[in-house]
Structure 1
Amino acid sequence: MLKSLLLAINNWRANQNSQRNFLIYCSVLVGLVGGFAAVALKYMVHLMEELSRHIAASVPYHYSFLFLPALGLLLTVAYQHLINRDAIQKGIGSILVNIKKNKSNIPYNNAYSHLISSSLTVGFGGSSGLEAPIVCTGAALGSNVGRFFKLSNYEKTVLLAAGAAAGIAAVFNSPIAGVLFALEILIGEITIPTFIPLLIASATGVVVGKLLHSGQLFHLVTEGWLVQALPFYIVLGVLSGLIAVYITKVAENLEKGIFMKYNRYTRAIAGGLLLGILILLFPPLFGEGYHYLQAILNGNMEMLKEESLYADWLSEPLVMLLFIAALVLIKIVATGITLGVGGNGGTFAPTMFTGAFLGLLLAYGVNQTGLIHLNTSNFIAVGMAGALSGVLHAPLTAIFLIAEITGGYLLFIPLMVVSAISYIIARVFSTHNMYWQALIHEKEIYPDQDYSMLNDIQLDTLINRDYTALRKDMPIQELYNILAGSNANIFAVLNADGYLDGVIWMDEIRKHIFKDNSTQGVIGDFMVSPPAIISYNQPVSSVMNVFDHLNVWQLPVVKDRKFVGFISKSGLLNQYRQVFIQQHKSNDIFARPDSH
């Protein structure tokens, strides 16, 4: 019944509706399901937190910190291994890979597996964030909606980004930040045809979130900022840029994995116990830590003492200052351990946490000198934006996200100053944001190559099957006769079964003709192995990488080890140009008023 209904909708779309309007309808649908997913994740995490509290009630309070994260990580790993069968694709980097190399196709499994696994990780105290899982969930929902309706790769990419925007917007109640995140991080460009569906999906996600889960993430009371504090905001911008570099480096190294010589369950338990020790020493590391951020935004420093083993010591300003500095440096370490042993989460919330405590560190430290009084709440809010801007290389997302979630619109100038300085400093140390940087180091993808359009091309359409096959034992004189009627620059040398023995380059034969003026010898004497062999099922983006790396213009293609023809770089570039033109024509369709 449901399948028939969906097929009927698909047929109606194909026959009755314009391309532009249908993408907008789809963006509403993606916004709805993305909003529902965000709300579901919030409730699931709340449920896991309640469960962990009941478990912790049976042991002395502080010591529950030791084993709860290990239990959550163990459950996460067990779910991923035994139920999910390791089909989950973690992290925002995986979305970028799917956009660039997999035609924006994300397995449907990712539309729900992130909700379950991340709630187990964070609900039991794993020191990571929920933003990356909800982005992955929304992106998977958008991708699969586009796939079902057989939309183009461009349209699937837009819906994928729309799902991510809806998820972020619903989690933070911040529609503009959701749109900017999708544009700055996932798509990388801002165009009106892309912006409108993202805006609709983001707004829809926020509406769903408000209806089903009301409440602002943070509440910031501010009367504005003082010009006298501007030098300190500049200092905060510099520190934010440096801490962003630190976050990127530590996260990249730890997320590769720790305790790798052990099996996954042993790693989860060992990593969980190590994390538990850190949380025992520094309780604000437990979970996302957002309730601690709200406490310090309200000026409630006592919250940092309540669960600490050395609460009395923290009454001393110097000890409190050292404690805050330790949180700034250790939060990302705790996150790296959480993710490195199999937990599911992200570094978005930990980055905000680190930036918030960096702002607190600066303001609290300056206030202790008595030289000037800084508004600690303002510096906490602006510090979050500075850290996000430097780590994500997305200053617009950082500015509007913090302004929206805190209500700190009066802080736009400090937000702009700190975010800009942080971004500039982070760019000095790394050209790309942390997601791209990890992928580049792993040689997955490169941001200056448009894999999405390359992979729109079918390799089969590029193969030149009009070739003359040579044999190794063929006299060279026969090749000369062939050359008289051919303008080919490369020839395939095949055996009796059609397998490729090697190739003959025209340039080499030409040297032989003019150097020796000889007709002696056989093809095998001049045959060479090709610098690379292209597989018939190889993605076109990978083929382009081979051409660029080897600096050649033609390569042989084989299917099931048998030679099928040649592919040329010039033909590939020409086809890429046609796809580029076609895609921009599609963009024009969305930019023009509907003709229907």
Structure 2
Amino acid sequence: MINLRSPWRRHRWGIRLVLWGFGGLAGLTVVGFSQLASLSLDVFFSIYQHYWWSPFLLAPLVGMVTVFLTQRYFPGSQGSGIPQVIAATQLARQNQPVTRLVSLRILIGKIFLGCFALIGGFSAGREGPSVQVASSIMAIAHRFLPHARALRKTDLILAGGAAGIAAAFNTPLAGVVFAVEELGRRLETRTSGVLISTIILSGLVSIALLGDYQYFGRLSMHEQESFSIIPSLVVCAVICGLLGALFNFLLLWPQKSPHLSIWSWRKAHPVLFAGICGLVIATLGVLVHGASFGSGYGITKSIIEGHQSVNWAVPITRFLATVFTYFSGMPGGIFAPALSVGAALGYNLSHFLGGFSSAVPIMTLCMAGFLAAVTQAPITSAIIVMEMVDGHGLLISLMAVSLMAKAVSSRFGGELYQQLGHYFYQNTLASLPQSQPVSDTPVKEEATPSSK
């Protein structure tokens, strides 16, 4: 029997208004973040076009300043942002404070330092950071609920992360899938309806402001999926899976081997280490005429639309630039750079693989395959790529290559975001005072029709 006096029933519309209002605010903030990131990239490339040597000054200087400010004023904002959200949900389940990972301070640092890093040409994306930004907004929303126990903070952080993906990629469906597959692994029946509507609302705000566009343009192909493309699928999946496993190994290397001299030196001299990473990234970018600078959004869109070709070295330099950007310790995501690696890799593989009359489908498959190998979230990867390029005609192939690439990558190691999230969780928990905060566990109640 439904309890009409339950907190959820009494305050359901107040809760919905708070969630939808903050969900819209999250979408608006992510859109602003994307515009500021684009402006930062424009600044870098406008300087680089006039002075080819400028990255050797910009990258080390910007890297050192960014890491100094991150370490001094915004600890917890470094890296992708998705591991921090995973760690925050784990802390929230144990009724531990999460402000060191999702808060207004983190939001400010993630946006402005993440964009500042792009002025140095670092290979960083805004999509992972958008997850942490939106989660921070939804964590703040918990304070404004009419009844704090009607929804758990864990659920709001989860919804915020998915809303960030939905708004960043302009793909609401991918945001919902991402919430289930990568962040939370589950959505409770009692709260799923209102939380999913919050995620969709955030994506709709992005569509309303930026238009219903495809993130990397519109895929143009006339071939139908058939058995003839299976050999190409297998090759793409194996190569992307192996490279994704190597990528994950490198990103987890500092956490798994912290006592190595290089990582001990980085811990003692983080700002100087960031400057050295900047020099490496400048060298890699100049070698390939700028193809490995920035998030990779521009070059990936140009490749897919057929406006640009890349040589064999671009996937390697983009791969290494993203790794060194992560090593530097500055805020920045790996979603867009990973997709850029996949696109450049697919362009080169298309010269040797058959099954399609153009290179674009192979590039699209490698984008999904490499992203799935890195994140080990194959369904999310396939749907994100499908929605980004309007590639519904390749849906089965995208799913197949993502599942196979994930299977190959998982043979060599666990999930990147989950393992990084565990490190953030352990470090944050160890730094907290030994006191038990007041529980914010929701009141047990039966599901109501209006909450579904």
Report the secondary structure of 1:233's partner residue.
helix
Aligned CA distance change for structure 1 residues 231 and 187 (closer, same or farther; 3 Å)? same
Choose from 138, 144, 158 the match for 2:140: 144
Aligned position for 1:42: 34
Report the Cα distance in structure 2 between the residues aligned to 1:339 and 1:271, rounded to whole angstroms: 9
Choose from 302, 305, 323 the match for 1:336: 323
Report the Cα distance in structure 2 between the residues aligned to 1:216 and 1:443, rounded to whole angstroms: 35
For residues 16-31 of structure 1, the aligned pairs below 5 Å read: 18-31=10-23
Correspondence 1:292 to 2:299: yes
Please state how far the C-alpha of 1:139 moved relative to its aligned partner: 0.6
Aligned position for 1:230: 230
Query: Can you give the 5+ residue segments of structure 2 that lack an aligned partner in the other structure?
Result: 1-5
Determine if contact 1:254/1:333 at 8 Å carries over to the other structure.
Answer: no
Report the Cα distance in structure 1 between the residues aligned to 2:11 and 2:376, rounded to whole angstroms: 33
Aligned CA distance change for structure 1 residues 411 and 191 (closer, same or farther; 3 Å)? farther
Aligned position for 1:507: none
Choose from 177, 183, 190 the match for 1:180: 177
For 1:441-489, what per-residue CA distance to the aligned partner results, in whole angstroms no more than 9, with x for missing partners? 78829xxxxx9xxxxxxxxxxxxxxxxxxxxxxxxxxxxxxxxxxxxxx
Please state how far the C-alpha of 1:197 moved relative to its aligned partner: 2.9
Q: Across the two proteins, how many residue pairs are aligned to each other?
A: 424
Choose from 51, 58, 69 the match for 1:79: 69
Determine if contact 1:122/1:130 at 8 Å carries over to the other structure.
Answer: no
**Aligned residues with identical type, % of pairs:** 25
Please state how far the C-alpha of 1:248 moved relative to its aligned partner: 0.7
For residues 238-253 of structure 1, the aligned pairs below 5 Å read: 238-253=238-253
Determine if contact 1:233/1:414 at 8 Å carries over to the other structure.
Answer: yes
Query: Can you give the 5+ residue segments of structure 1 that lack an aligned partner in the other structure?
Result: 1-13, 305-319, 446-450, 452-534, 541-578
For residues 84-103 of structure 1, the aligned pairs below 5 Å read: 84=73, 86=75, 88=77, 90=79, 91-102=81-92, 103=95
Please state how far the C-alpha of 1:406 moved relative to its aligned partner: 0.5
Determine if contact 1:162/1:197 at 8 Å carries over to the other structure.
Answer: no
Q: TM-score, normalised by structure 1?
A: 0.64
Please state how far the C-alpha of 1:373 moved relative to its aligned partner: 5.1
Choose from 210, 213, 216 the match for 2:214: 216
Report the Cα distance in structure 2 between the residues aligned to 1:191 and 1:442, rounded to whole angstroms: 25
Aligned CA distance change for structure 1 residues 145 and 239 (closer, same or farther; 3 Å)? same
Report the Cα distance in structure 2 between the residues aligned to 1:264 and 1:64, rounded to whole angstroms: 23
Determine if contact 2:87/2:424 at 8 Å carries over to the other structure.
Answer: no
Report the secondary structure of 2:22's partner residue.
helix
Aligned position for 1:435: 417
Please state how far the C-alpha of 1:19 moved relative to its aligned partner: 4.7
Determine if contact 1:87/1:109 at 8 Å carries over to the other structure.
Answer: no
Report the secondary structure of 2:353's partner residue.
helix
Aligned position for 2:371: 388
For 1:130-158, what per-residue CA distance to the aligned partner results, in whole angstroms no more than 9, with x for missing partners? 11211101111111111343623952222
Could you say which structure has the higher strand fraction?
A: 1
Choose from 409, 434, 437 the match for 1:537: 434
Aligned position for 1:354: 341
Please state how far the C-alpha of 1:332 moved relative to its aligned partner: 3.1
Choose from 100, 104, 107 the match for 1:108: 104
For 1:22-79, what per-residue CA distance to the aligned partner results, in whole angstroms no more than 9, with x for missing partners? 443333123211111111111211332343345446x53x222333322332332243
Report the Cα distance in structure 2 between the residues aligned to 1:87 and 1:412, rounded to whole angstroms: 37
Correspondence 1:159 to 2:156: yes
Determine if contact 1:133/1:346 at 8 Å carries over to the other structure.
Answer: yes
For residues 459-474 of structure 1, the aligned pairs below 5 Å read: none
For 1:401-434, what per-residue CA distance to the aligned partner results, in whole angstroms no more than 9, with x for missing partners? 111111001111101111111122222223x310
Q: TM-score, normalised by structure 2?
A: 0.83
Choose from 585, 590, 593 the match for 2:444: 585
Determine if contact 1:254/1:336 at 8 Å carries over to the other structure.
Answer: no
Q: 47-56 or 163-172, which moves further after superposition?
A: 47-56
AA aligned to 2:335 is F
Choose from 409, 419, 424 the match for 2:407: 424
Report the Cα distance in structure 2 between the residues aligned to 1:207 and 1:443, rounded to whole angstroms: 32
Aligned position for 2:3: none
For 1:184-205, what per-residue CA distance to the aligned partner results, in whole angstroms no more than 9, with x for missing partners? 1111124444432342122212
Aligned position for 1:466: none
- Report 1 or 2 for greater relative contact order, CA contacts < 8 Å, sequence distance ≥ 6: 2
Aligned CA distance change for structure 1 residues 240 and 22 (closer, same or farther; 3 Å)? farther
AA aligned to 1:537 is Q
Report the Cα distance in structure 1 between the residues aligned to 2:246 and 2:183, rounded to whole angstroms: 23
Determine if contact 2:66/2:113 at 8 Å carries over to the other structure.
Answer: yes
Report the Cα distance in structure 2 between the residues aligned to 1:110 and 1:411, rounded to whole angstroms: 38
Report the Cα distance in structure 2 between the residues aligned to 1:537 and 1:343, rounded to whole angstroms: 29
The alignment's C-alpha RMSD in Å is 3.2
Report the Cα distance in structure 1 between the residues aligned to 2:46 and 2:306, rounded to whole angstroms: 30
Please state how far the C-alpha of 1:356 moved relative to its aligned partner: 2.0
For residues 188-199 of structure 1, the aligned pairs below 5 Å read: 188-199=185-196
Q: Which has the larger radius of gyration?
A: 1
Report the Cα distance in structure 1 between the residues aligned to 2:13 and 2:377, rounded to whole angstroms: 30
For 1:342-387, what per-residue CA distance to the aligned partner results, in whole angstroms no more than 9, with x for missing partners? 32102222221222223223212236xxxx6543111111211112
Aligned CA distance change for structure 1 residues 361 and 237 (closer, same or farther; 3 Å)? same
Choose from 269, 272, 282 the match for 1:266: 272
AA aligned to 1:351 is A
